[in-house]
Structure 1
Amino acid sequence: MTLNQIVDTYITYFDKVKWILIGCLAVLLVILLVHLIVSGKKRKTEGTSSVSEKPAKSQYMDNGRFRIEIGNVQGTGEREEQQDAFAFSPSSKWKDKGFLAVLCDGMGGLDSGAAISNKLVSDIIAEFPYSFEKLKDGWILDALSNEIFQNYAGRGGTTLIITYLKDDKMWFASVGDSDLLLLRNGRIYAMNTRQEYGNTLLMRAAEGAVSVDQALLNSDAAALTEFMGAKHTNPDYSIVPWQVMDNDVYLLCSDGISDTLSFEEIREAMTHDPSECAELLEKAIIQKSRRYQDNYTAIIFAVHKIGGNS
């Protein structure tokens, strides 16, 4: 073989190797591009996007006297994880046992907020049904709070709002700053009291111990005075159940909704059916485009008397 033939052979060999390498690089680039696209979609769904999955369509249950129409919405906001949790009792138990809705907002900045809120919701639903007598003094919630305290050594917690409708009577309990709102005859009512330091100061202001300005402008006004996960907790609750009325609309929500939207914005959304209300609440939150938007969750249910005006 001559020198020229040897050179030509090596040139041909390296030319083939070059195209093989180019082909491999092209395949690697395609794989990398696909990975980036998939990762981008995952971040959009699970990360800090303000957009949640489409709110659930209304569900219905009835006990022969009332029909309950239920909607819900949940979003992560600008947080890294979802620490809110919610559930309602299964429709199979509604006729005989009543309807229970529960919502928890795991405390941001503390350990295991998401785990605690989800477990508490699961535990409450698992123990359903309850009697009003068993619920009315709040000892069940105090026991659950102490259990969280023991399991997490006081390093985690959650708020709680719970409603229980049986026959035509409604009962509630709340711990922390999640809200229970009622729309009745076009007017909105706050049914529970937020357990925040600012409200404690306002009560002291009413007694003349501090000024109203001191109460309203205190830098710790939003700090929780009660939460599930404390060694002992004192829930806000209805001493006696109240009678529901035809076309009452109830909304349980975390402060990611009630701190972002005004009462009037929430009231207007509640004039629509529960599933549409859920969509309107989320749309309003997204339009606010708050930089530090918290997790947001709402359960909306309307009570319609069967045979009455719906």
Structure 2
Amino acid sequence: MYDFSLLPEDSIVAICVALALFAFSFISFSIILLYSLIKTNIYTKQHKDKLKLVCDVAYFHERGKRDNQEDSIYISPMDKAEDNGVVVACSDGMGGLLNGEVVSKYVTDSLTENYPYKFDAQDDNAAVITDISNKVYEEYHLGAGATLVMVHVYDDYMNFYSLGDSNIILIRNNHATLLNYKQNYITLMIRKFAEGGIDTVDAYKDTRAKGLIDFVGNHNCHVLKTSKPLRLMENDILIISSDGVTDSIPLNRLVNHIHFDQNASGIARSLKYGVKTKRNPRQDNYSAIVIKMTRSFV
């Protein structure tokens, strides 16, 4: 213990003044910091609707039990996002046909060459995809093909384009929705069975069920597309993936593998881990691009 009574009186006064100044400075700093935090929070709440929605983007690209990686992905330049939006795509080479990896790579390379895309030109963008498909047809004459799912996000709206059975999934309010229907025989048969009053369960027993009725490589393919943009909301999650993801994690269980406070990278890691832990002996290649919509002052 120090005996301050031994200090000169002027030293004690100086120490007291210094302690008082320190206490005043600390209290003043705390008040200013608290005021700033309150003001920032109030401003954010008042102007939240005016803040821009931006895309937080991540991906994974994994080979399953196949000999080759037949999935290919595309992400547009993020430094061009403010002017042209964000365009992402996933193409999956068709199993059972040769050159699946060549075709899927050709698809994403062609999308890269045609960038940028006009957001409101859905018909023109679909025509680009049809042209790519026709060139694959001219080269392979139905001997090779691939699926394609492509999403274009601009501000808080999105358009999508789809061929085949890959996935465009929107997760909102803890619920996953498949935005594009699969262009395969089972979808066609279920529709016909339902119209004819036949039990649709029989459609799943058909050996052709997973066969595609349209794909990249088909002549004059029919590209599914949005007729008008879809509105996106804060914390919406988009998953653009090959069917290798949903073969192991069904649509209704996707949300069980996601923590909604995660960023896009965290969600991608969780989904990749979820597929791996299934240890599917016939695991297809599995790739996905994850987009999480967040608010930003920028």
1:136 aligned partner:
123
Q: Does 1:289 align with 2:279?
A: yes
- The amino acid that maps onto 2:247 is D
Q: Does 1:279 align with 2:269?
A: yes
Whether the 8 Å contact between 1:113 and 1:158 is mirrored in structure 2 is: yes
Q: How big is the shift at 1:135?
A: 2.4
Cα 1:256–1:220 change in 2 (3 A) is: same
**Which of 295-304 and 216-225 deviates more?**
216-225
Q: Does 1:245 align with 2:233?
A: yes
1:100 aligned partner:
87
Which of 58, 66, 91 is the matching residue for 1:79?
66
2:161 aligned partner:
173
Whether the 8 Å contact between 1:136 and 1:238 is mirrored in structure 2 is: no
Task: State the distance in 2 between where 1:156 and 1:174 align.
Answer: 18
Q: How big is the shift at 1:88?
A: 0.6
Whether the 8 Å contact between 2:88 and 2:152 is mirrored in structure 1 is: yes
1:121 aligned partner:
108
Task: State the distance in 1 between where 2:59 and 2:199 align.
Answer: 40
1:235 aligned partner:
223
Task: State the distance in 2 between where 1:225 and 1:118 align.
Answer: 21
Task: State the distance in 2 between where 1:295 and 1:213 align.
Answer: 28
2:143 aligned partner:
155
- The amino acid that maps onto 2:211 is A
Task: State the distance in 1 between where 2:147 and 2:198 align.
Answer: 27
Task: State the distance in 2 between where 1:292 and 1:113 align.
Answer: 17
Aligned residues: 245
**Which of 277-286 and 155-164 deviates more?**
277-286
For 1:259, what is the secondary structure of its paired residue?
A: helix
1:9 aligned partner:
none
Write the deviation string for residues 252-294 of structure 1: whole angstroms up to 9, x where unpaired.
Answer: 1101111111224322334332212222222222221111111
- The amino acid that maps onto 1:286 is K
1:109 aligned partner:
96
Task: State the distance in 2 between where 1:151 and 1:262 align.
Answer: 35
2:243 aligned partner:
255
- The amino acid that maps onto 1:129 is P
Whether the 8 Å contact between 2:54 and 2:155 is mirrored in structure 1 is: no
5+ unaligned residues in a row in structure 1: which ranges? 1-63
Cα 1:291–1:94 change in 2 (3 A) is: same
5+ unaligned residues in a row in structure 2: which ranges? 1-50
Which structure ranks higher in relative contact order (CA pairs < 8 Å, sequence separation ≥ 6)? 2
For 2:74, what is the secondary structure of its paired residue?
A: strand
Q: How big is the shift at 1:154?
A: 2.4
Whether the 8 Å contact between 1:82 and 1:114 is mirrored in structure 2 is: yes
**Which of 205-214 and 255-264 deviates more?**
205-214
**Which of 138-147 and 294-303 deviates more?**
138-147
TM-score when scaled to structure 1?
0.75
For 1:277, what is the secondary structure of its paired residue?
A: helix
**Which of 97-106 and 231-240 deviates more?**
231-240
Q: How big is the shift at 1:128?
A: 1.2
